[in-house]
Amino acid sequence: MLVLVAPGQGAQTPGFLTPWLDLPGAADRLAAWSDAIGLDLARYGTQADADEIRDTAVAQPLLVAAGLLSAAALGDVAELGPGAVAGHSVGEITAAAFAGVLDATTALKLVRTRGLAMAEAAAITETGMSALLGGDPETTVPHLEKLGLTPANVNGGGQIVAAGTLEQLAALEADKPEGVRRVVALKVAGAFHTHHMAPAVETLARAAEGLSPVDPKIAYVSNKDGKAVTTGAEVVQRLVGQVANPVRWDLCMETFQELGATALIEVCPGGTLTGLAKRALPGVKTLALKTPDDLDAARALIAEHASA
């Protein structure tokens, strides 16, 4: 069984969309999305520097657009035959479009609202996120809580991401949990998936009131608890609440395994989630769509592992 996944914030790099815009129809599709949300996605994806695309209000719609664009290069997602879809953090909106819950333009309008709201919430207090490499969750999580930090992403594969104020993250650098080898600051502009994002939840909830979600056509695995969600209304409800709640990617991967996953493809800008899967899902073939050069290998993997 094939699983199609979408990465979250921090996966973007300067110029990463450049080769994708050479594909037939890609530039026109991106231009239409840019007009719909009032953001020049092509410029940010091809010309902007690292600081510009670190901006939450830019990074989030850029990542969703990249995921949708790269998946479209493979064909209609439903016809590709994945047995499940999921996304990490903002990638959940990409996955909602893959599952047919939201159309592409609606997904991009929603993520534009999300990015702006989270950027505004992040500006209230200086906060950030850091990845902890190594360690045992049973030891790491209590240590983070002792420092006032939130285990905002429990990613599996030996990785937890802590979020909180810059002072709290500095204390973590000086006082690592037992077994943690490194603490790596992430290229994000706030303590996402924590109580610091509560104002963004309210804004997103108001935006969600005007949506007409469709029930998923493909199993949609949620960051909240790793469960497959069966109604469009619940998918949207979870998208709203997840902004201020931890991402449980470890539980998502457990569900992939329970569903019988044999292959996992991560859409552009791929790499982070395939890296986690290689450690946590032994025997599952993985492929990251980094450039269009990866499309032929992805098509071959789809042909071998897609659901009937």
Looking at the chain, the whole-number percentage of residues with pLDDT higher than 70 is 100
Residues designated catalytic: 89, 193
255 lies in some domain:
yes
Assign residue 171 the CATH number of its domain. Answer: 3.30.70.250
290 and 179 inside one domain: no
What does the pLDDT average to over 5-12?
Answer: 94
272 and 162 inside one domain: no
Please tell me the least confidently modeled range out of 57-61, 155-159, 231-235, 247-251: 155-159
198 and 51 inside one domain: yes
212 lies in some domain:
yes
Whole-angstrom Cα distance, residue 39 to residue 43?
Answer: 9
Q: Which of 185, 203, 223 is the last residue of a domain?
A: 185
How many helices (H) and strands (E) the chain has is answered by 14, 10
Residue 24, Cβ neighbours under 10 Å: how many? 7
Whole-angstrom Cα distance, residue 223 to residue 242?
Answer: 7
142: exposed, middle or buried (C-beta count within 10 Å: 0-12, 13-18, 19+)?
exposed
Whole-angstrom Cα distance, residue 41 to residue 116?
Answer: 15
**pLDDT digits 0-9 by tens, 120-155:** 999 999 999 999 988 888 899 999 999 999 999 999
142 lies in some domain:
yes
68 and 110 inside one domain: yes
285 and 153 inside one domain: no
223 and 114 inside one domain: yes
167 and 41 inside one domain: no
306 lies in some domain:
no
Q: How confident is the model at residue 100 (pLDDT cuts 50, 70, 90)?
A: very high
Q: How confident is the model at residue 14 (pLDDT cuts 50, 70, 90)?
A: very high
308 lies in some domain:
no
Question: CA angle, 7 as apex, 83 and 194 as ends, to 5°?
Answer: 110
Number of domains observed in the structure of the chain: 2
State the residue range of the domain holding 51. 2-122+194-301
**pLDDT digits 0-9 by tens, 251-263:** 999 999 999 999 9
Assign residue 202 the CATH number of its domain. Answer: 3.40.366.10
Q: Is the pLDDT of residue 189 over 60?
A: yes
The pLDDT of residue 172 = 96
The pLDDT of residue 10 = 86
What's the 3-state SS for 167-196? Answer: HHHHHHHHCCCCCEEEEEECCCCCCCCCHH
101 and 208 inside one domain: yes
The pTM (predicted TM-score) of the whole model is 0.95
Tracing tokens 């592992």 back to the chain, one arrives at: 305
Q: Is the pLDDT of residue 308 over 70?
A: no
Q: Which of 137, 154, 185 is the last residue of a domain?
A: 185
Does residue 14 have a cis bond before it (omega within 30 degrees)? no
Helix, strand, coil percentages, rounded to 5, for the chain? 50, 15, 35
149 and 293 inside one domain: no
307 lies in some domain:
no
293 and 229 inside one domain: yes
218 and 257 inside one domain: yes
Whole-angstrom Cα distance, residue 27 to residue 42?
Answer: 8
86 and 221 inside one domain: yes
Tracing tokens 């899902």 back to the chain, one arrives at: 281
260 lies in some domain:
yes
Q: Which of 142, 166, 185 is the last residue of a domain?
A: 185
The pLDDT of residue 85 = 98
**pLDDT digits 0-9 by tens, 32-89:** 999 999 999 999 999 999 999 999 999 999 999 999 999 999 999 999 999 999 999 9
- Tokens encoding 162: 């802590």
Give the chain's mean pLDDT. 95
Rounded to 10°, the helix 104-122/56-72 angle is 160
The pLDDT of residue 252 = 98
